[in-house]
Chain A
Amino acid sequence: DVKVTQSSRYLVKRTGEKVFLECVQDMDHENMFWYRQDPGLGLRLIYFSYDVKMKEKGDIPEGYSVSREKKERFSLILESASTNQTSMYLCASSSLVLQAGHEQFFGPGTRLTVL
């Protein structure tokens, strides 16, 4: 079974802190994604990566950066956390192999609260 894990289920940080959210997948997937989910706004794509050291902006990249130094790990960085970044953050991964159908598998999510 594909497993996507996220470093924390719940996180509380203060405004202005630098925050790291970590995601690890164990299926050798090329693609990895970061989403945030907010009531009334649904899931929105922040950044994605299709290879090590490669990254692409999603729909809402402002205030975030990412790092992918190893294939299995994709980090989301909030350089200076703000209260409007309080949200549920979800990581996902998928394979580039055609037969795998690009199916995305999600982690359990990190609920981040910025005070």
Chain B
Amino acid sequence: KQEVTQIPAALSVPEGENLVLNCSFTDSAIYNLQWFRQDPGKGLTSLLLIQSSQREQTSGRLNASLDKSSGRSTLYIAASQPGDSATYLCAPNDYKLSFGAGTTVTVRA
């Protein structure tokens, strides 16, 4: 069974700082890995999808890396803004998604 760990559990930074969110998973036999954002009481918004053959994926201020062999992914958010405050979830996909507990980010204005 896939086990997913996200560190740190919570993060509070001043506006403008870069964010680094870590994800580790136990089974490297995955198709891809998705990063999601969840606002309180809302559904999940897909941020990035990294295929198992890729090392990284970028979208705007977001960059995600994947080291499948070591079971690690990192999400970088550059120049954080208060609107980035949310919970971020990583989910490796071996046909089913397995979720970590998430990292709750607070960006202070």
Known: A43-B89, A90-B44, A108-B43. A101 touches B31 (CB 8 A): yes
Question: Contact between B43 and A45 (Cβ–Cβ < 8 Å)?
Answer: no
Known: A90-B43, A109-B42, A111-B41. A104 touches B93 (CB 8 A): yes
B87 to chain A, nearest CB (A): 10
CA distance A48 to B94 in the complex (A): 13
Known: A42-B100, A43-B89, A58-B96. A102 touches B41 (CB 8 A): no
Asked whether A107 is an interface residue with its Cβ less than 8 Å from the other chain, the reply is: yes
Please encode chain B, from 93 to 108, with 1 for each CB lying within 8 Å of some chain A CB and 0 for all others. 1011101111000000
Residues of A near B46 (CB, < 8 A) are 103-106
Question: Contact between B97 and A104 (Cβ–Cβ < 8 Å)?
Answer: yes
Question: Contact between B34 and A104 (Cβ–Cβ < 8 Å)?
Answer: yes
Chain B, interface residues (CB within 8 Å), range: 20 to 34
Chain B positions near chain A (C-beta within 8 angstroms):
1, 31-32, 34, 36, 41-46, 49, 51, 89, 91, 93, 95-97, 99-102
Chain A positions near chain B (C-beta within 8 angstroms):
33, 40, 42-45, 48, 58-59, 88, 90, 92, 101-109, 111
Question: Contact between A109 and B101 (Cβ–Cβ < 8 Å)?
Answer: no
